[in-house]
Chains A and B, each alone.
Chain A
Amino acid sequence: MGFSLGVVIGAVGVLILSHAAYATSQYRGLLKITEDDFSGPPFNVVVELIVGLVLCMWAALAVPGDFLSIHPHSDENRIVSLPDNLDFMIFNHRGKVFVPEINMRLKR
């Protein structure tokens, strides 16, 4: 869900930037007709650019995925974790007589 939301936001941002580009090209064409110099884009284009940049930055941070911890002993990197169906596990059976040598770290 997070992935698709980020992609949608990025697409909206790119669309806004495209519209800003189109508006600026129209504006520059108009300036060429009236032979004025281009000093800067109109105000609504600047607002569109800022909104597009913010949306694209959101997408750029959300889409590529989360950072993974590099610490070998952090909780995320434990190889062994407890399964979810612990309630259905029975340890009080004859197998406990033959306890194997378990050398595993359990998730806290």
Chain B
Amino acid sequence: MAAHNESEKKSSDSVNDLQTFRAENLQSNMKVIYYSRTFLSIIGGVIAGILGFTGLAGFVLYFLIMAITSIALIAKAKFSIHAYFDSWNRVVLDGFLGGLMSFVLFWTFAYDIIDSFYCPAKIAEKRALLFADGSAGKAV
């Protein structure tokens, strides 16, 4: 029995040397990360659109949100990354570019929807109501 324990210990040691891990659990963890990042990219895009960001400011917001997401994911993994992932890149970088695509899509979408909510005819009508005395507000 002692010999058996010895051999078992040895085999488990060699397993640890080979750095094996459960691929299906790693894949499930990656799926969780992609899900979180994609959802927060969409939400971030909508927020950038509502804030009316144009140009570099929107990308800065994206970097900011992704940084917060990374920290939150690390906190979700209870700060022991190597128990759930094989490298730091998995939790910090994966899904970054794909999320950027979703971000830009929803950013422009929200920006345009909010900007063009009032149609020009309605604006002209309201202007006519507002400045019915002929003062026409500001000089055009």
- A interface residues, Cβ below 8 angstroms from B: 10, 13-14, 17, 20-21, 24-26, 28-29, 32-35, 38, 40-41, 45-46, 49, 52-53, 56-57, 59-61, 63-74, 77
* A47→B123 CA distance, assembly (Å): 28
- In the complex, chain A residues whose CB is within 8 Å of the CB of B123: 29, 32-33
- With contacts A25-B118, A38-B52, A56-B39 taken as known, whether A70 is within 8 angstroms of B130 at the C-beta atoms is no
Classify the interface of chain B: helix, strand, loop or mixed: helix
Extra inter-chain contacts (10) besides given A65-B28, A68-B84, A71-B22, CB under 8 Å: A21-B46, A21-B110, A24-B114, A25-B118, A29-B122, A33-B126, A52-B47, A53-B44, A70-B21, A70-B83
CA A91 to CA B32, docked complex, whole Å:
44
* Bound complex: CA A35 to CA B32 (Å): 46
Please tell me which one of the listed residues B22, B31, B113, B118 contacts residue A70 in the complex, with CB atoms under 8 A apart.
B22
| Interface residues of B, Cβ cutoff 8 Å to A | 12, 15, 20-22, 25-26, 28-29, 31-32, 35-36, 39-40, 43-44, 46-47, 49-52, 65, 68-69, 72-73, 76-77, 83-86, 110, 113-115, 117-118, 122-123, 126-127, 130, 137-138, 140
